[in-house]
Structure 1
Amino acid sequence: MPNDDQESWVRVKARLRTEVGDDVFSSWFGRMELEGIDEGGVRLSVPTRFLKSWIQSHYAEKVLTCWQADRSEVGRIELIVRSAVLKTTAQPKPKVEPALAMHGENRPHNGNGMSRPIPVGDAAVHEALGGSPLDARLTFDSFVVGRSNTLAQAAAKQVAAARRTDPVMFNPLYIHAGVGLGKTHLLQAITWAGNAGGERKVLYLTAEKFMYGFVAALRAQNAIAFKEALRGIGVLVIDDLQFLQGKSTQAEFCHTLNALIDAGRQVVIASDRPPSELESLDERVRSRLAGGLVVEMGGLGEELRLEILKARVQAARAHHPTFDVPLPVLGYIAKTVTHNGRDLEGALNRLLAHSKLTGQSVTMEMAEREVKDLIRPQEPKRVKIEDIQRIVARQYNVSRSDLLSSRRTANVVRPRQVAMYLAKTLTLRSLPEIGRRFGGRDHTTVLHAVRKIEGLVGNDVTLSEEIEILKRQLQE
């Protein structure tokens, strides 16, 4: 190959590195090689089909532009897989904004601008790394802030606004809350805002999509490229972590998590429970998750529910200008529909549909009729094992460490058995998990404690009253 071709390639790589940054260059272009230049075309090669597919989809125009800056006569880039026989030409295509490029909006094209078929395994990997679908409504502007979510919203905005050179303040950011309280809204808001800035690539994946991509990569023999792609992301956002299943997938998630955090990349995770209660995850993963900033988003208070309803009505008027809900009706819904934000959205949708289809104005009578099935009995407070240990220890004048210790004196054994009994009756935790949380005890020890207290409660009035008092304290 002529020396001047190699010199051009060195200059092109330097220009490409400057434009995309060191991290992106290393992830996608570090193993790209120049094969030759002829008749106005440049032939480049990469070692895997996945790299070829990703570069064609996201960086074909940028690579071509860098070559044209050095050699104006270059009109096309031909990208091949070094071990493959088939070759596909990547032609210039319309410029893609960074936010779209990261969300699967663009597929690899051939020279005629038509979609190019990709082998099934590669397509699945490519789809996973394109990210999970985003809802354009879920932005920081549409997120209503209240007492229960102030810290989570502030932390999320800090992550979204951070620049590549800024030190990572908390990593990972772990947000947990019940269903419909705004976790996904915040995670997607981070993704929209982060990608709009264009300096750090933000990839939003559900745990299901992560599993799908990893399994597809294994089947397509692209697992290494899949891992490298994930570890090249500036901000990785994982939603619904509680659904992450499978030992190999969890192991890969753990390696990816460690690699990103150690490299100073931001990780944001959401789940329906704190790290310590993710029983299916390896202890090392739970420990790493707990080492960042763990934020709980509490239930929606009545005042916050009313503000959410007002905001949703205002948003609905953008498409339905005549839609109006009197303030007393909004107050009624905020007071009675208490379960989560999705029920509030459902209540408003029903009023909107009824109003539009019948032409009637929204009234209190209509609201009472339309939302009656959304008025649910107040759910009992979710009891945590840590709370049980703390309150039982206080009741019996022992320390929490005593309950977890191997001591078998009478003043410790009975409180420990009561605490295990309450953990079994007031939580959904399994016997092995309860045993682990009580100093690593075997599940048979927990079962013995539960049966012991069950046998005593029917005959010991004092113990029965003590347990009822403890239950009331835990439910308050």
Structure 2
Amino acid sequence: MLKPEAVDLAKFGPAIAGATAADIGAQQWERVRARLREEIGEDVYSSWFVRLELDKVGPDSVHLSVPTRFLKSWIQGHYVDRLADLWREETGSPRKVDVAVRSAVLRSQPLKAREPRAVVVEQPVEPRPAPAPAAPAASSDVAAGSPLDPRLTFESFVVGKSNTLAHAAARQVADAAPGAGPIFNPLYLHAAVGLGKTHLLQAAAWAGAARGRRVVYLTAERFMYGFVAALKSHAAIAFKDALRSIDTLLIDDLQFLTGKNMQQEFCHTLNALMDSGRQVMVAADRPPSELDALDDRVRSRLAGGLVVELFPLEEELRHQILKARSQALVEQHRGFAVPPAVLELIARNVGQSGRDLDGALNKLLAYNKLTGEPVTLEMAENAIRDLVRPSDPKRVRVDDILRVVAKHYNVSRADLLSQRRTANVVKPRQIAMYLAKTLTLRSLPEIGRRFGGRDHTTVLHAVRKIDGLLATDRALAEEIEVLKRLVNE
């Protein structure tokens, strides 16, 4: 048993004379909860704090617990400092507030107190070894979701021309009241890395949960892990029930979802949620039509909602993001400052994604801290020299190639994907396959699937034929160069 701390109860006044240390801790906690409820209002308190419980009070810390990692992450990110302030104001002594998930809390036998929940106020002595808690079931582990970053909220998301529609659609999903039917279902966001997909998904998770919705954010990897773990532990039904009883499911990096059984389970989950009026929001690095590894039924269902692309960040937006993020670094690191001219240099020359911008700022910070040299234009030019790119090539998609080739040769996209073998269709189709092989990173089988489900040998034959003609047909070579420029515009 943990030894209760010796407390001089007389100094607390006659109202609690004779009370135990556990009573005092519980009463103090109830007053802290009451003040918090009064400050933030009943709605927010009921959504986030009604299941927050006091486990024990140590000499230097207060140990609280919640039932899920999602709640723990949110409270730590938004209110742990305020809870520490309220406890200090109530007790007169500062203590660090620690929040844990209840399934992972090692508890000694609670003392019986006058309040319904007893609290142990302990000395810093070693407790006797306690048995480790059982590992949580796969269903509850997945239902808790992947970890959320408290910084990724709508308030910290910088909006510009390239992401306005995606931001508005995500906000619409997040602001829906509990029980309200979805407007865009599923909402599918796609973009290259570092353009804000994950930020919007996590922002929607934070905002949706704050409105009382049951929200689960999962990466595709986490979804696959949970499904495999559920199969191994014979808990597949519990896994399915855990995901299908929520209000909003958010899946990130869907392009990594692999395996026939995994895709079937995801498709069943998707159908079950959408058919019952629940919201689904998905992010990937390409549109549904280009997720060649996914089953046709899954791609079709995903494409049936609202599909929105986040485009590369324009220079003005990059500048706004740099200002916001550099200001955050200035607040964290005394003596660090980035002149406006340096921000303009980075915005104009470094990449087209938020991660590129973060990398440049972090490099300036490292130079400043390690050498003591202030950030100047000359210093920045030297520091980020390896990050400057003369131009970022456009990410070419097979859809872009089909569109340009169809327009150039006055045929339809359907003709290019069809089985027709007339001369006016075969040549444009072979040219489109050649461009897909030379301008994208797609494999021959992937290109074949995009061209009406053809075999990779058909694509290889087309590529070799066009390649051979280019050596002797000058007109065709010029035509191909024109098409390449049109695709890259």
Indicate if the aligned counterparts of 2:69 and 2:147 stay in contact, CA closer than 8 A: no
Q: Identify which range, 251-260 or 93-102, moves more after superposition.
A: 93-102
Aligned to 2:42: none
Q: Indicate how the Cα distance of structure 1 residues 151 and 370 shifts in structure 2: closer, same or farther if over 3 A, else same.
A: same
Q: Does 2:182 match 1:168?
A: yes
Are 2:397 and 1:400 equivalent residues in the alignment? no
Structure 2 residue 207 is the aligned partner of structure 1 residue 193:
yes
- CA distance in structure 2 between the partners assigned to 1:242 and 1:279 by the alignment: 9
Quick one: distance in 2 between partners of 1:111 and 1:203? 32
Change in CA separation of 1:115 and 1:290 when aligned onto 2, cut-off 3 Å: farther
Match of 1:137 in 2: 151
User: Does 1:179 find its partner at 2:193?
Assistant: yes
- Counterpart in 2 of 1:313? 326
Cα distance per residue 1:98-137 (max 9 Å; x no partner): 95168895132567379974545x4554333221111111
Aligned residue in 1 for 2:216: 203
CA change 1:177–1:116 in 2 (3 A) is: farther
Give the TM-score of the pair, scaled to structure 1. 0.76
- In 2: Cα distance, 1:361 partner to 1:430 partner: 48
2:244 is equivalent to residue 231 of structure 1: yes
Q: Evaluate the alpha carbon distance shift between residue 184 and residue 450 of structure 1 in structure 2; reply closer, same or farther with a 3 A threshold.
A: same
| Aligned mate of 2:162, from 148, 163, 170 | 148
In 1: Cα distance, 2:109 partner to 2:228 partner: 32
Query: Is the 1:326–1:362 contact (alpha carbons within 8 Å) kept by the matching residues of 2?
Result: yes
Q: Tell me the secondary structure at the aligned position of residue 101 of structure 2.
A: coil
Residues in 2 aligned to 1:148 and 1:256: alpha-carbon distance in whole angstroms: 31
Instruction: Report if the CA contact (8 A) 2:397-2:440 is conserved.
Output: yes
Confirm or deny: 8 A CA contact 2:351 2:392 kept in the other structure: no
Q: Matches of 1:136 and 1:102 in 2, distance apart?
A: 7
What is the correspondence of 1:296-311 to structure 2 with a 5 Å cutoff? 296-311=309-324
CA RMSD of aligned residues (A): 2.6
Gaps of 5+ in 2: 1-46, 54-63, 75-98, 111-128
Q: Deviations over 1:265-317 (max 9, x none)?
A: 11111111111111111110111111111110000111111100100122223
Question: Cα deviation per residue 1:210-229 (whole Å; 9 max; x = unaligned)?
Answer: 11111111111111001100
Conserved? CA contact 2:65–2:101, under 8 Å: no
Give the paired residue count: 387
Larger CA deviation: 144-153 vs 373-382: 373-382
Structure 1: distance between partners of 2:132 and 2:321: 45
Encode CA deviations 1:183-209: one digit per residue, 9 max, x unaligned.
Answer: 111111111112222x21111111111
Partner Cα separation in structure 2 for residue 393 and residue 306 of structure 1: 38
Q: Please name the residue that 2:33 is paired with.
A: none
**In the TM superposition, what whole-angstrom CA distance separates every residue of 1:235-266 from its partner, at most 9, and x where no partner exists?**
11111111112221111111111111111111
Tell me what 2:397 maps to.
384
Deviation at 1:333, TM superposition (A): 0.9
Q: Could you say which residue in structure 2 is the equivalent of 1:351? A: 364
Distance in 2 between the 1:328 and 1:94 partners? 48
* Aligned position for 1:444: 457
Amino acid corresponding to residue 486 of structure 2 in structure 1: Q
Distance 1:98 1:354, change over 3 A: closer
Contact 2:416–2:425 (CA<8 Å) still a contact in 1? yes
Aligned to 1:100: 71
Match of 1:454 among 458, 461, 467: 467
Q: Deviations over 1:365-410 (max 9, x none)?
A: 1111211121134232122222222221222222222222232222
> Would the alpha carbon gap of residues 373 and 105 (structure 1) be closer, same or farther in structure 2, given more than 3 Å must change?
farther
Calculate percent identity across the aligned residue pairs.
64
Q: Does 1:364 align with 2:361?
A: no
Name the CA distance, whole Å, in 2 between partners of 1:220 and 1:143.
Answer: 40
Deviations 1:52-81 (A, max 9, x none): xxxxxx99x97x9xxxxxxxxxxxxxxxxx
Does the 8 A contact of 1:174 with 1:289 survive in 2? yes
Equivalent residue letter for 1:163 = A
Q: Is the 8 A contact 1:402 1:412 kept in 2?
A: yes
Cα distance change, pair 99–442 in 1 and its aligned pair in 2 (3 A): closer
- Secondary structure at the counterpart of residue 331 of structure 2: coil
Q: Which residue matches 1:266?
A: 279
Counterpart contact for 2:186–2:305, Cα < 8 Å: yes
Match of 2:478 in 1: 465
1:212 maps to which residue?
225
Distance 1:405 1:357 in 2: 61
Relative to structure 1, the CA distance from residue 408 to residue 240 in structure 2 (aligned partners, 3 Å threshold; closer, same or farther) is same
2:109 equivalent in structure 1 = 112
2:305 corresponds to 1:292 = yes
The 1-side partners of 2:439 and 2:479 are apart by: 15
Task: Kindly provide the CA deviation profile for residues 126-161 of structure 1, in whole angstroms up to 9, marking residues without a partner as x.
Answer: 333221111111111111111000111111111111
Question: Residues 306 and 403 (structure 1 numbering): CA distance in 2 closer, same or farther, change over 3 Å?
Answer: same
Q: Is the alpha carbon distance of 1:99 and 1:296 closer, same or farther for their aligned partners in structure 2, counting shifts above 3 Å?
A: same
1:112 partner amino acid: Q
- Structure 1: which 5+ residue stretches go unaligned? 1-57, 65-92
Match of 2:296 in 1: 283
Contact 1:102 1:130 in 2 (8 A): no
Whichever residue aligns with residue 411 of structure 1, its letter is N
Distance 2:141 2:70 in 1: 15
Going from structure 1 to structure 2, the CA distance change for 1:375 and 1:211 (only over 3 Å counts) comes to same
Deviations 1:429-476 (A, max 9, x none): 232332232233332222222121111111111111111111111111
Answer whether contact 1:107 1:115 (CA < 8 A) is retained.
no
